[in-house]
Chains A and B, each alone.
Chain A
Amino acid sequence: MSLLSVRDLRVEFKTPDGVVKAVAGVTFDLQAGETLAIVGESGSGKSVTNLAYMGLLPTSRTTITGSVILKTDQGEVDLIGMSNDELRKIRGKDVAMIFQDPMSALHPYYSIGDQLIEAHQVHNEVDKKVSRDRAIELLTLVGVANPDERMAAYPHQFSGGMRQRVMIAMALMNNPKVLIADEPTTALDVTVQAQILKLLRDIQTQFQMAVILITHDLGVVAGAADRVNVMYGGRLVESATVNDLYENPMMPYTVGLLDSIPRMDQGHGKRLRAIPGQPPSLIKLGDGCAFAARCSRKSELPSGTCDSSPELKAVAPNHLVRCHLYDSKEKVK
């Protein structure tokens, strides 16, 4: 049994323009200790999926269905349908999160010490001193120099990379089983990106955590993840191990994403290929293939094929794809 098991998760937002199907039936598993990357353009549902079962979406106009089973020390629990009060006991303890912009993610008016200690205190009935020691220990671990002194400093007194290290330290305060890192490096310089990704990799090993790395950039996934889920239009469109995906991308969207990564083996001066067209409107999504409008290989299929949505199918061991091109289960050359 996997650590986290997501089954047919659906998230709908009621808006004045209509119902937005932000996540339209997502199923995947997260194994203990693995790093799962979830990749997609903005609006693909990759962030919403995770915010949804964490109870971090605004509740009033959101409908969430499906099940998300998490293995905790108290046994298996379904995060969907939990009361907010039950769910908050899981947040930050069993499942921790870090976010894209470490500046705005930290409260500007409280010292980072206060914020780290608070994260520990909320789940542990221990003396503040204990929480403080833990905070200093973790700051040291994530590479903040003079942690004792820096505890009193405010977020604005840190650089972007350092702030993300503080966020990571905060996420680690309660030894979580799962760390959801939502675009953790997007707002950072390229060199800092690499440092943070390395840090994530190191602490994952050290803490034996499972990590869900949410990103729009397949480039950061390469050395950082074990497995990749590609999402498009609120659905999983391809799922494979990192190596498998890089070597043998199947879905034309995945191919497009890979082509848009600058690579060392490509000559300079060659323009990156972007995927033509816009992501689909999640309100008007019909029965047909969501990617059809942008699909470069649509012409290879008999007309009318794209009017129905393809199923997610295993076309190779541990390689799932949702694409009409693989309806015959044979790879088209």
Chain B
Amino acid sequence: MLKGKKSLKVALATVTATVLAGGLLTGCAPANAGGTITYLTNAESWTHADPQRNYTGMHIAWFGSYLQRTLTAYDRAEGAAGSAVVPDLATDTGRSSNGNKTWEFTLRDGVTFEDGSPITCEDIKYGVSRTFATDIITDGPTYAIGMLDIPSAEDGSSTYKGPYSTDAANDTASFDKAITCSEDSKTITFNLKRAVGDFNYTVTYLSFSPVPKAKDDGDQYDMHPVSTGPYKIKSYKVNDSMVLVRNDKWNGSSDPLRANRAFPDKVVVKFGQAEEVRDQIILADKDKTAVSLDAILPTNLSAVFDDEGNVLEKYKGRALNVYDPYVRYAAVNVKKLNCLPVRQAIYYAKNFDSLITLAGGQAFNGDAADGVIKPLMGLDYAKTGYATDDKDWKPEGNIEKAKALMEQAKTECPALYARATDPKQGIFYDIPDTETNKKASAIWIESMEAIGVTMKFNYIEPGKYYSVVLDATKQGDLSSGGWAPDWANASTVIPELFTAEGGFPMSQNWEDPAYAEFKKRSDANLTEPDRKKQGAEWAALNKYAMDQMWVIPGVFSKTQEMWGSKIGGAYFWEPQGALSFGDLNIIK
């Protein structure tokens, strides 16, 4: 089970890399224009189509490719080059001042909505304002709330409640000061409450995309968002389909990122495909221009890949097995498991081998993780010395080492030791209630029994999982979790997971003696202007968290994708952890 988000950046891409996209790339000859690309998915609809409510990388990649433009965007390129931020609606990748607390973007000429009306600074400002209406515009990222210079109320929420509020006390004045528009409505200025060196990555989020106020009807805007991209929605029916056609008001000259790449004439998403049918259509190449939006069913993996996870000859060029942006782990509730030797004992006793095999094997599930930052993060990653680099670590679990640690715990923290080893009490592990997880829990229980620890499972309905475990009063001792960075900076990982203010604080580690120093270093690193130094420090803090065993590491996970034989231009778009939707075309 994952919470979390999107992107992943690779080493060389930095804030300053402003490679202009578009015509520079090869392999996107207009000859491939035309036709219909059909996406197949088991989902009954998009989780959200409202730009302010899109959060996952796949959704941002899809909507960002076809329908929504933002001030800046990730470049469309394979490998590390894709993680470069390039201008989109803006003329450049933003200009910061005031020690990275003020960011300014200027809109290109000729950018319009699908009805031909020009996109103004006010439209972007209105779009951003919607993210503050957290009671209606749900599920979206809240970076604007966290970063814009707007006071907080006593309960910690923003004093500005968004554009729908009828409350006279709504702090619209502060919002108007936090985002200002130039006279000509061409330049937008963001005033932040703290220094954010990579704010131009933040605005790649669709939550910073424009919305025409006249067309906004709150919750229902999710069904008919207005397009700014090369396509527009012709029809969208839940449980049925979404059809995109060309947006004739879109002007390629104002959109170098997407110009020469808006290949198909029509894009169709078919919702509610039975999973087996969806896979069979692609496997048998029934619809040669179809693309699966979902991961391949585990039972069909062996039809497409060999045991090592390489694509079989038959499917060369139309399947991928790659690392996704996620790291999976068991968050430790440090308040409850307040004893390092116990946490370490769990880590050493854990049977990584069996758990990975259960989830599809290393070739498909991924590798044992040594922390919460994936090696793909480049700058921010360094080996922590855990998992495969730990001489005491064994894939099937090192029971001897774990037992020794439990002996140590017996004297260091007798209370927790007594609870953990008491069959009537034991330690509790929160896990979403799925078939695979039930099997996994049996593996866990066996490993823990070997070191005399009683482990009990709290199976939580998947739909309610995070609302339970994120409630500090309801969380157990360990909670299954997964996280992907929001963009290619571990600033969206380390503080999110391990500080009290973070968006995903499942480790509840702020009473741990080691927290104070950690917090100080993390806060300082957020405003570190030298990206290399910052990366090294994130890597160090990753190791720090591991030394404290604030999470029991899991896997650097993988994902598998598949498409029809007439689809060209497919590659794994790393920053969004998704297929290169915007580059897909029909091979003539």
A and B touch in the complex (CB under 8 A): no
* Residues of B in contact with A (beta carbons under 8 Å apart): none
